[in-house]
Amino acid sequence: MTDEKKDATMRTEEYKLEAVSELRFEVETGSDASVQLDLLEGMAEVFGAELTKGRQITFEEGAKVAVFTWHEVLLLACLDLSHLAGKTEVAYIAKETPMVMYINTHAALEQMRQKAEKEKTRGPRVMVVGPTDVGKSTLCRLLLNYAARLGRAPIFVDLDVGQGDISIPGTLGSIVVERPSDIEEGYNLNAPVVFHFGSSSPSHNTQLFKLLVSKMADTVNQKCDQSKKCCSSGVIINTGGWVRGAGYDMLKHIAGCFEVDVIIVLDQERLYNELKRDMPDFVEVLLLPKSGGVVERNSSVRADDRDLKVREYFYGLRKDNKDSFYPHPLHISFNDVKIYKIGAPALPDSCLPLGMKSQDNMLKLVPVSPSNGLLHHVLSISMATSMEDNILESNILGHVVITGVDMEKQMFTALSPSAVTPPRNIWLMSEIQFMDID
């Protein structure tokens, strides 16, 4: 693209933000679209992470962003001037925002942390729930960032296997958040705990999901036992948008496993009233509105978001139209790895061994024979070293994508973040697929 054509497609605008207002914008979807944001005057933040003067922030295609500024009493600033350059689908200033309610929620959680620190007990264990597209992930990020800015180290548990922020789709993860997430790059993923689920919805294998939730709760409790700071800082749990029927039962299971004492319901009174009715008395259930900037996504957009998440795992964030990472093709013999999927086809109880139930099949490891059916599937590399290990509950080292199967030579070609052959040979097959066209 020539400079003249590039200039013709770009626009530069200045936005003045009053106190307690926010600039909302969506970056245009399409090839190489991006928006550059500069803070010129005052103080502002993006989902609880502070903008810095002199540092240009780039948001890539599909990003939904809200730049917020507080009253001067809170942040010693009453006016923000932000400079926006690039291609946007939507850009407007909103004066009605739920941020005051969100900061009040943070303040209440901080009081609970202070009490826990003083009494040497657990800090707040918060579960954020609600249907799809109400801003659960954003609220979690905001609460985590505010806590980290005060020197806390809360544990973030992401149980949204379809649109999670810690690892790729089809996984559950947790991290300790010791500093605010980077506005461009997200959370610092140092030493995450990640479990393989293998699908984008808990409904595909509820038995496995419940098992992994229980295991994740155990790992969180162990971390709290090891770290007084994490213990008093508490836990923030993000959940998926499945809230009806078996999905509601799953929320109750999560609450019980993690012993949550605060549940934040976003934008659904029915769910709020059901949880108020069913939760123990010690659980505080709050109803908060969603932000007006939340964007509804159809199934196609969700699939694109999942694909982008997998791509970022291998190639990193695009900056200046260039990838941050450079993955490698690995050539691996069929004999060097053992591939399994979790869950066997359901059979009538009458066809099963005595005492065995059909749901038990959903926790069974099924060997996968090498074939072209593996093409484009994401595979998780288990930390397990043998079949004697508890493979289902083992942490994940990383992921590869099968990009080629040579039946004649008995070889796989796998896209890997590293040029080194993975140190473990037990790989778990996911329903998530990724077409590597780079």
**What backbone torsions phi and psi does residue 180 show, to the nearest 5 degrees?**
-55, 150
**By C-alpha distance, which of 28, 90, 89, 92 is closest to 60?**
28
Q: Which residues are annotated as a binding site?
A: 22, 64, 133-138
Residue 226, CB-side half-sphere exposure with 13 Å CA sphere: 9
SS3 263: strand
Torsion of Cα atoms, 289 then 294 then 299 then 300, to 10°: 180
Sign of the C-alpha dihedral computed for residues 164, 166, 172 and 176 taken in this order: negative
**At which residue do the structure tokens 């200033």 appear?**
93
Q: Which residues are annotated as a binding site for ATP?
A: 22, 64, 133-138
- For residues 203 and 435, the answer to whether their CB atoms sit within 8 Å is no
- Between CA 395 and CA 174 the distance in angstroms is 11
Sign of the C-alpha dihedral computed for residues 351, 356, 359 and 365 taken in this order: negative
Residue 149 CB contacts under 8 Å (≥ 6 apart), including other chains: 48, 50, 180
Q: How far apart are the first and last CA of the chain?
A: 20
SS3 395: coil
- For residues 17 and 44, the answer to whether their CB atoms sit within 8 Å is yes
Q: Which conformational region is residue 167 in: left (phi greater than 0), alpha (psi within -120 to 50 degrees), or beta? A: beta
